[in-house]
Structure 1
Amino acid sequence: MSELADDIDDRRRSIGARRNPETEEAILEAAEALMAEVGISGFSIEAVAKRARAGKPTIYKWWPNKTALLLDVYHRRKPANVHMDTGSVEGDVFAFLTGVFAHWGDTGAGQVFRFVIAEAQRDAAAAASLLEYSAERRIQSGEIFQRGIERGELSADIDVGLCADMLAGFIWQRLLTGRIERDPGQLRRVARQMVRGLEASGA
């Protein structure tokens, strides 16, 4: 595991050890329900606290800002099949793109993530929460390319973190410009083009 991953785990343990699981679940369920009912415009820490019957100080102790809480709600909704091991890098990238775009397009998750990105542009605390979340996802997405190296599909000297950044950059750009891609044929072309320049010699 990388030093970044170790650092994230350490920080999570230092915070998470004080959490009451039942209270945490009640807060997350309340936040998720509010998002479904009123959307971003009606979402607030005050509303979550009231619905969960939890104190605002408790919420702020575990989630330093609204963005951090929204990111946890967003991640709870994320389907497990986004990070599948299909046996090939191209297949994994296609599965990732298909899963993320379906998640964004079929639920309110795309709206949530657009809001989080917007908040991060104007608020340092929101930016820090997004940066931490993105660092964790970068590690997870990087495993797609690490598996490719181990299978001999990809060159051994590629930077898997940079590959993950390129993948994230593509989906974020599509989200922010309102061009969520749902056509499987086009997504396969995107996956093929992303991977083609990374193939090991003779693969």
Structure 2
Amino acid sequence: MADIATLSSEGRTSVGARRSEATETAVLEAFVALLDEIGYAAITMEAVAKRARAGKATLYRWWPTKAHIALSLISKAKVEMAPPAGASLRDDMVDYMTRVVGLWRGHSGLPVGVLVRHCYAEAWSDPQLAIALQSERRERWTLLDTILRAAVARGELPTDTDLARAKDFAMSWPFYLLMTDRLPAPDEIARMVDETLDGLTSGSSRRRSPGT
């Protein structure tokens, strides 16, 4: 089980006045305990409130649904890694993807991948959750943006590279595998990165070709 106290305190998806840290910790710990005991599908907001010894009105004020509690947990689980080493885009991408997949697999003690899948499934019918997920994704991909910018500075990618599209392209394969519960094994990540970079560099070459 994840130790909520060791997760980053930066993630916060609520609005308005800041909620009590003690209440937030109690709610998140209750949710994680229930997740471990009965699974996501069986969790109810009433069960979380009872386990956390929190009033239901307080719970619903900050988290409209259990998916919003899950998103709070996702936001606190950060990819821990040093800034890009600068050796190569490939090395930086393999390191980044390995850590992201490890986070999704639950190496932090929290089944982040399971929570992500449920949040995206519920976001189809919850516009507020969908917006919060988009914001969380932008924050999480900040390091990937740094990696790609470093590659442009080294000349591995052209200066006119569309970084937003490059990030979408780089994450599309691992995210698809996450959503279909087929996360790549460690030895598959390097191949996945190689094929992704082939797509990025070949697209750049086509843009620079005469007559295109």
**1:1-203 paired onto structure 2 within 5 Å:** 15=15, 17-81=17-81, 85-87=84-86, 88-106=88-106, 108-184=111-187, 186-196=188-198, 197-198=200-201
Q: Distance in 2 between matches of 1:45 and 1:13?
A: 17
Q: Distance in 1 between matches of 2:120 and 2:14?
A: 26
| Moved >4 Å (runs of 4+) | none
Contiguous gaps of at least 5 residues in structure 2: 1-11, 206-212
Q: Distance in 2 between matches of 1:113 and 1:13?
A: 14
> Is the contact made by 1:93 and 1:191 (CA closer than 8 Å) also made in structure 2?
yes
How far off is 1:40 after superposition? 0.5
> Is the contact made by 1:46 and 1:56 (CA closer than 8 Å) also made in structure 2?
yes
Q: Residues 113 and 159 (structure 1 numbering): CA distance in 2 closer, same or farther, change over 3 Å?
A: same
How far off is 1:17 after superposition? 4.6
Where 1:80 maps in the other structure, the secondary structure is coil
> Is the contact made by 1:138 and 1:161 (CA closer than 8 Å) also made in structure 2?
no
The amino acid across from 1:126 in the alignment is L
Q: Residues 132 and 79 (structure 1 numbering): CA distance in 2 closer, same or farther, change over 3 Å?
A: closer
How far off is 1:171 after superposition? 1.4
The amino acid across from 2:101 in the alignment is F
How far off is 1:14 after superposition? 8.6
Where 2:37 maps in the other structure, the secondary structure is helix
> Normalising by structure 2, what TM-score?
0.73
> Is the contact made by 1:16 and 1:62 (CA closer than 8 Å) also made in structure 2?
no
> Is the contact made by 2:78 and 2:140 (CA closer than 8 Å) also made in structure 1?
no
Q: Distance in 1 between matches of 2:182 and 2:161?
A: 29
Q: Residues 31 and 75 (structure 1 numbering): CA distance in 2 closer, same or farther, change over 3 Å?
A: same
How far off is 1:120 after superposition? 1.7
Q: Distance in 1 between matches of 2:38 and 2:175?
A: 24
Aligned-residue RMSD, C-alpha: 2.9
Contiguous gaps of at least 5 residues in structure 1: 1-11
The amino acid across from 2:137 in the alignment is S
Q: Distance in 2 between matches of 1:124 and 1:43?
A: 21
> Is the contact made by 2:28 and 2:73 (CA closer than 8 Å) also made in structure 1?
yes
> Normalising by structure 1, what TM-score?
0.76
Tell me which structure has the larger Cα radius of gyration: 2
